[in-house]
Amino acid sequence: MWGTIATWRMAHDGVIAAKDILAGNGDCKDAVETAIRKVEDYPYYKSVGFGGLPNERGIVELDAAFMDGDTFQIGAVAGITDIANPIAVARKLSLDTFNSFRVGQGATEYAVLEGFERKNMLTPRAKKIWEKRLAEIADKKLNPYDGHDTVCAVALDQKQSMAVGTSSSGLFMKKSGRVGDSPLSGSGFYADSAIGGAAATGLGEDLMKGCLSYEIVRLMGDGHTPQAACDRAVYGFDQQLRNRLGKAGAFSLIAMNNQGAWGVATNVEFTFSVATERQAPSIFMATPGPNQTTVIEPITQEWLDA
Ligand code: ASP
């Protein structure tokens, strides 16, 4: 059995590329990196890689992480700048025993030294959106935090190995040096080939409070299906946040176990893409349902056209 699941409609082309690798008996780590690179390279996705929206100062600071579910090796970068594929840097760092999570200038220097492609990641389009937003904030005192979405991919290969990766430009208009959940193990992602993998998108400040990716893998390890694990972790924590803090940000989680069964849960409208040995690559829409369940429906052609 093989399979892959990834966050947001933007990941669909990446899922198709990952599917080709997995169906051809390729490695789950290559599938994850390939899927995420596709999103990083596409200039019109405003929340990941090239074309991602910048921080308050107009600088595109990127976060990414990679985890090998066989060995538990993790690599991550936060606030990296001017590097084309943060996911590839994170994957390389996962092979290191020490210094495997690098931030800011240190992350960028590492990537340059290792020969990763340099690129000005701020596109004219993203710069225009930033300038417009600066003006709006000055005029109307708007909440600056807006326009985010992380690409996350979980993959299972035919050898029953699993891997997970994330890549994000974080929150639009974030303060310089702000880091969300995406590069943080347990919060933004987790994978254990003996159980399954999970990953998150949404308000990092809240996701980090619940370590939801680890929690979902733990629940799957206790025998829950991926869907039951996602429902329990996501709606349970959403409720806890509302009870204790009085509010919960938007968040959505995806999971797959090592049999290729998958699940998602979300407290907002959320699209994702999935492909397995039994299921052709498809985009779905998830919404919160009654009694801590998730409603999952195939995306309609009307939705895609719009
Ligand atoms: N989780 C990301 C962050 O907080 C943003 C997102 O996925 O929407 O940086």
End-to-end CA distance of the chain: 35
Q: Residue 283 pLDDT more than 70?
A: yes
What's the 214 CA to ligand 1 centre distance in angstroms?
17
DSSP designation for 39: H
Please give the positions annotated as active site.
Answer: 150
Q: Is 271 in the pocket of ligand 1 (CB under 6 A)?
A: no
Instruction: Please provide the average confidence, as pLDDT, over all residues in the chain.
Output: 95
Q: How confident is the model at residue 305 (pLDDT cuts 50, 70, 90)?
A: confident
Q: Which of 52-61, 66-75, 206-215 has the lowest mean pLDDT?
A: 52-61
- Would you state the pLDDT for residue 143? 67
Q: Is 29 in the pocket of ligand 1 (CB under 6 A)?
A: no
Q: Residue 232 pLDDT more than 90?
A: yes
DSSP designation for 83: B
Crossing angle of helices 28-41 and 12-23, rounded to 10°: 160
pLDDT digits (tens, 9 = 90+) for 97-128: 999 999 999 999 999 999 999 999 999 999 99
With 0-12 CB in 10 A as exposed, 13-18 as middle and 19+ as buried, what is 135? exposed
Give the atom of ligand 1 at the shortest distance from the alpha carbon of 63: 9
- Would you state the pLDDT for residue 306? 80
- Would you state the pLDDT for residue 136? 86
What is the total count of domains within the chain?
1
Range of the domain at 130: 3-305
Q: How confident is the model at residue 142 (pLDDT cuts 50, 70, 90)?
A: low
Per DSSP bridges, beta strands 162-168 and 189-192 are unpaired
pLDDT digits (tens, 9 = 90+) for 251-278: 999 999 999 999 999 999 999 999 999 9
- Would you state the pLDDT for residue 145? 64
- Would you state the pLDDT for residue 211? 98
Kindly report the CA angle at 242 between 240 and 247, in degrees rounded to 5?
140
Instruction: Compute the distance between CA of residue 81 and CA of residue 243 in angstroms, rounded to an integer.
Output: 38
Instruction: Compute the distance between CA of residue 34 and CA of residue 49 in angstroms, rounded to an integer.
Output: 14
- The answer to whether 91 and 110 have CB atoms below 8 angstroms apart is no
With 0-12 CB in 10 A as exposed, 13-18 as middle and 19+ as buried, what is 117? exposed
Q: Is 170 in the pocket of ligand 1 (CB under 6 A)?
A: yes
Proportion of the chain above pLDDT 90, given as a percent: 90
**pTM for this model (two decimals):** 0.96
DSSP designation for 11: G
Query: Tokens representing 286?
Result: 């998830």
Q: Which of 49-58, 177-186, 212-221, 239-248 has the lowest mean pLDDT?
A: 49-58
Instruction: Compute the distance between CA of residue 250 and CA of residue 207 in angstroms, rounded to an integer.
Output: 9
Q: Residue 234 pLDDT more than 80?
A: yes
- Would you state the pLDDT for residue 144? 59
**Residue 151 CA: distances (Å) to CA of 222, 228, 229:** 27, 22, 21
Q: Residue 74 pLDDT more than 80?
A: yes
- Would you state the pLDDT for residue 24? 98
What's the 182 CA to ligand 1 centre distance in angstroms?
6
Average confidence (pLDDT) over 64-85: 98
Average confidence (pLDDT) over 155-179: 96
Beta bridge partners of 74: 67
Extract long-range pairs of 99-102: CB within 8 Å, 24+ residues apart. Answer: 100/73, 100/74, 100/75, 100/76, 101/74, 101/75, 101/76, 101/77, 101/183, 102/76, 102/77, 102/78
Average confidence (pLDDT) over 50-64: 94
Q: How confident is the model at residue 304 (pLDDT cuts 50, 70, 90)?
A: confident
| Amino acid at site 150 | T
- Would you state the pLDDT for residue 137? 83
| CATH number assigned to the domain comprising residue 12 | 3.60.20.30
